[in-house]
Structure 1
């Protein structure tokens, strides 16, 4: 948090919360998105002013400029905590001061940030005792001779071969595995989850 606030003070020149306005937060955000991704990584650069790096970034390729979304959001969140604390302590904080309003949103879903499995990853995964032989149903992580072909066995295999979504494969019915076709395939259908209600009959008085 101290690093976030120190960076904010350096960029804006503001050191008292009473002086900070939303425009300062906007300047903070824009500057973070204008810095080289590796700024101040070298010991020789530790004491260079921040705007030296902003100028240097103008000569760099686009993919080497701009702090990461997570770093930007963390700095804004830390600034928001200081603002909230200042308000709670009775300091005069500018109306509408809201650093979190500039948080960067994901352009993709969270799972898109994860790199895909490499072939050696899959080899390690499917060398697990679930597929190579386990002790028993209750001891799937211990080596043994039992290969239990249940959902835990089939779902990861089908996911690896098809690239389908987990909920699509986990929800498959047996009838949706189409084998009597020139091209065997799976038919994944969308389902609406139905709420099941049960009624309890009262004992007869007779």
Structure 2
């Protein structure tokens, strides 16, 4: 009996079944099937049904096929036994689902090539196996079980090899769809309603680069070499944002993975034959990348760095809106300053703050930042974040009320509308301008700093994850997962900002 597992790939749950040991030479180590949902409860229900169906695939007839094929390959069983087996069990083999017939074809092809090398005198059997393979593919495509059984039986019976004209007559038309692959992107997106706006932006960039490499060729004609060319294109693509002058390995990995996700979807839909796209690898890591520690990729601010940030001109006086990093007389606290203050005191993601409403929600008497609609990265991202005393002291409640009264979002200044990516670039430039130039230190690092604040408060880890918007994967985390008023009061009473910000108190 195969053992099923559930695993999450990006945002979609998949069923992974470990194949019985005696079938692995034919069916590989695992069989993976998408459950086509990001909801764990729905996925579990579908997994039970799918696992039952998949376990039904591993039948005695297949074990016998494997044993004989393996025996022929090892020269322990005669080729005649394989011929007879194919003839005797043609109907049973023809009734097997696609998952088996594809592997069966590959196994037969291996025997065919081996026998051709061993014994050129048996060229007729070599030809018959080729015909069996092509006929199985044709009949499977058309759903003709009887035709498949007839092809197996006639091929195994060692009839006279058909002519070239006859072979062409039974060859199927090329599988898949002839549509240019970019025309299928809207359909792909409709099948992925869980994609967040930022994810869609990332896929859009990937698809533009892929089209630059392979053009608008029909989806059914996309080959494994196309994806290798795409990976090489990204490897050599110039980048002004990287110190090496080329794309970072993580960027290459993300885009190649997104291209593979699209192709797997096309294969699952029957638009394209799987040609081993997942086997394509990106460039290896450089020595510098191998030596880089996880905390060097993105880390929290140190107390000294927080002092540098909150003592900078944006908070103590700047020259003009276009020269925010230059000291000057302007003291107005605009959305740039508030963005950094809010992120440092709530740990909210950039995209969440950029789209959050100004109207606060209350858990009894505790005001909270409302990320119910703005939080979309995970299920736990939809949450309320209590306003801690340090943030209240800086006048945040009054700022939010003014924004709400004007009918604006939290980060809406009434003039320029900025996307999350635009906010990220704008604020990261400011960090560079004030001397915080460490590559591992970005605006998002304030989220890491807030996580440290939650840990330092000795809160229950489930409460920490509810406030922070992380999923734990634990069974108990799904019960009472919404933050309670009692838990909100704990956050307010225990969480403290690591440095004093008395100079920012506007009360």
Give your verdict on TM over 0.5: no
Q: Normalization by structure 1: what TM-score? A: 0.41
Bigger CA radius of gyration: 2
Instruction: Choose between structure 1 and 2 for higher RCO, CA contacts under 8 A separated by at least 6 residues.
Output: 1
